[in-house]
Homo-oligomer: A and B are copies of this chain.
Amino acid sequence: MIGKTTSSWITDRRQAASHKIVDAAWQVAREQGLAALTLREVAARVGVRAPSLYSHFDSKHAIYDAMYAEAWQTFLELSDGIVLPAAPRAALRLVARTFFDFATADLPRHQLMNLRTVPGFTPSPESYAIAVSALDRLSARTADLGLRLTADEVDLFTALVSGLINQQWANDPGGDRWDRLLDRAVDMYADHLNLPEEEQ
């Protein structure tokens, strides 16, 4: 079968248009702040008028939701792509570093993914599921290395890494005061799990 049906072409065009809107929204959020996002400004970047956005999204929150889903999808693909070292301790270090760098690279993205900064916004179940699955898959991959973590242990790990991220953003944005502590924190955690020491 060559080519596509007419209806799938239409779907593609719709998706492309939605994608352009979400891209523009990220642009605005990065320049003006996540909460300062306005439909007029987003529309202007896309090259249309504000009301036209309603042909693609039911509300402003629906745009936030698409941004949320996209951000976690991006992280999911990024983290699927990294090659984990066989040694559990080194693997944990890389996982932590990947997440830390991803979160400290982009404040509005971090706020949307990991904090509840936008008044009244909660991700839809479908979007939240992407976030859950991203972490589940990382957890499954470390399990393949023989590192089986309980749910509590995963929660402790995410709290530790996201704590460093938040302190970095809140108290030393652009610096490295908590960045420098990441490996040490992971080692503390690995010691807690009684993971064997490894040659660096």
Known: A156-B184, A185-B156. A166 touches B119 (CB 8 A): no
Taking CB as reference atom, which chain B residue is nearest A33?
B119
Beta-carbon nearest neighbor of A115 in chain B: B170
Bound-complex Cα distance A120 to B33 (A): 8
Q: Once bound together, how far apart are the Cα atoms of A189 and B158, in whole Å?
A: 15
Known: A33-B119, A35-B119, A117-B117. A159 touches B178 (CB 8 A): yes
> How many protomers of this protein does the assembly include?
2
Chain B nearest Cβ from A97, distance in angstroms: 15
Contact partner of A156 (CB less than 8 A), chosen from B120, B162, B169, B181, is B181
Complex contacts, A166 vs chain B, CB 8 Å: 114-115, 159, 162-163, 166
Q: Which residues of B contact A159 (CB under 8 A)?
A: 160, 163-164, 166-167, 178, 181, 185
What 0/1 readout, one digit per residue, does chain A (5-39) give for beta carbons within 8 Å of chain B?
00000000000000000000000000011111000
How many chain A residues sit at the interface, stated as a range, is: 35 or more
Residue of B nearest to A34 (CB): B119
- Residues of chain B within 8 A (CB-CB) of A33 are 119-120
Whether A126 sits at the interface, judged by CB under 8 Å, is no
A178: chain B residues at CB < 8 Å are: 155, 159
Known: A155-B178, A162-B167. 4 other contacts (CB 8 A): A155-B177, A159-B166, A163-B164, A192-B192
Show 17 residue pairs from A and B whose CB-CB distance is below 8 angstroms, ordered by the A residue: A34-B119, A35-B117, A111-B117, A114-B166, A116-B169, A155-B178, A155-B181, A156-B181, A159-B160, A159-B178, A162-B163, A163-B163, A163-B166, A166-B166, A188-B188, A188-B189, A188-B191
